[in-house]
Amino acid sequence: MLAYRHAFHAGNHADVLKHLVLDQVLRYMTAKDKPFRYIDTHAGAGGYLLKGAQAQKKAEYREGINRLWSRPDLPPAVADYVHLAQRFNLPQAQPGEPPPQLEKGMTPPLALYPGSPSLARMLMRPGDSMRLFELHPSDARTLAAHFGGRHVQVINEDGFAGLKGQVPPNPRRALVLMDPSYEVVSDYGKVVASMRDAVQRFPEGVYIIWYPHLARIESQQLPKRLISLAPKGWLHVRLTVAQTDSQGFGLAGSGLVVINPPYTLHETLQGVMPWLVDVLAQYEGASYLIEEQPA
């Protein structure tokens, strides 16, 4: 499926939740000395121009990152994520290098939004490695142009199939992010099959799986199907901010299942999700869900 381009949705409420959680998991993993591998099965272009034609078509970022950008009352975990996005809007370093540090009190104009690989690169250390899968040839070329170095591989292949060759890594420590578009209904089955194989091969890995909160039955069932694969602990978080239309169509929100989550993640999300609901809500029924089974 090559029609989907994340640039149309960059910085929306689903990105906010996904990248907030990714930020927290990465910070936990980099707090330990042992190196790890970051594996992104659907990496996209790595960064997005919010003033470009694709992002402006629906301007979804206005109801997402834009609502957080200049607020003075960001909870610490949200502030950590927003500051990374703000760093991405500073004058860029050389290709292959992370953006410079953000000076205290600086709030640059919101013009760019970082994809998951860019957020990860800002937090990862020299000994850590990245494997970035992207099937769309144009986005893969963009990734390759901006992500270089001895420890980074950009792979223009299907991430569902490619994950099999990446786990278990050496050393045996990794974070896998899987966030396909789900525009093709078969993606739901591919997510489950790919995760089942990965967890069997590498049960101690940390896996973050994003899904859209839709009315369709496949979306409703996916969290339970993923939770059943977890060998030890898991966490499920969902943010609902919008109403579907009269026929049940539209993106109401999104969720994440984290297999082998950091023990700190549940408490962090308990503190920030009510705040996110208040700030990102597009209707009075906006809500959140957090459930977990500790390891």
| Pairwise CA distance, residues 39 & 117, whole Å | 9
Check if 179 is active-site.
Answer: yes
Who contacts 261 (Cβ-Cβ below 8 Å, separation ≥6)?
25, 206, 233, 234, 235, 292
Query: CA geometry: angle at 18 spanning 37 and 276, to 5°?
Result: 145
What Rg, from alpha-carbon coordinates, does the chain have? 18
**Inside any domain, residue 154:** yes
Q: 22 lies in which domain range?
A: 6-293
Residue 1, domain member (yes or no): no
Helix H or strand E segment including 197: helix 186-201
Bridge partners of 133?
Answer: 155
On whether residue 37 sits in a domain, the answer given is: yes
Helix and strand numbers, DSSP H then E, in the chain: 10, 10
Q: Please report where in the chains the tokens 């969720």 appear, as a residue.
A: 255
Q: What is the pLDDT of residue 2?
A: 46
**Per-block average pLDDT, block size 10, for the chain (295 residues)?**
72 98 98 97 95 90 97 97 95 68 83 96 95 95 89 96 96 97 96 98 98 95 98 97 82 97 98 98 97 94
For residue 255, the model assigns a pLDDT of: 98
Q: Which helix (H) or strand (E) holds 289?
A: strand 287-293
> Which pair of tokens denotes residue 33?
């000395």
The answer to whether the Cα torsion of 53, 83, 25, 253 is positive or negative is negative
Q: What is the pLDDT of residue 5?
A: 75
pLDDT of residue 8: 87
Instruction: Give the integer Cα–Cα distance in Å for 231 and 227.
Output: 9
Q: CA 167, CA 169: separation in Å to the nearest integer? A: 5
Give kind and range of the element (H or E) at residue 132: strand 129-133
Given the residues 15, 23, 128, 179, the one annotated as active site: 179
Task: Say whether 40 sits in a helix, a strand or coil.
Answer: strand
**Confidence at residue 103, expressed as pLDDT on a 0 to 100 scale:** 78
**pTM of the entire structure?**
0.95
How many domains does the chain divide into?
1
CATH number of the domain enclosing 148: 3.40.50.150
Q: Which two tokens stand for residue 128?
A: 């850590």
Query: Which amino acid makes up residue 55?
Result: A
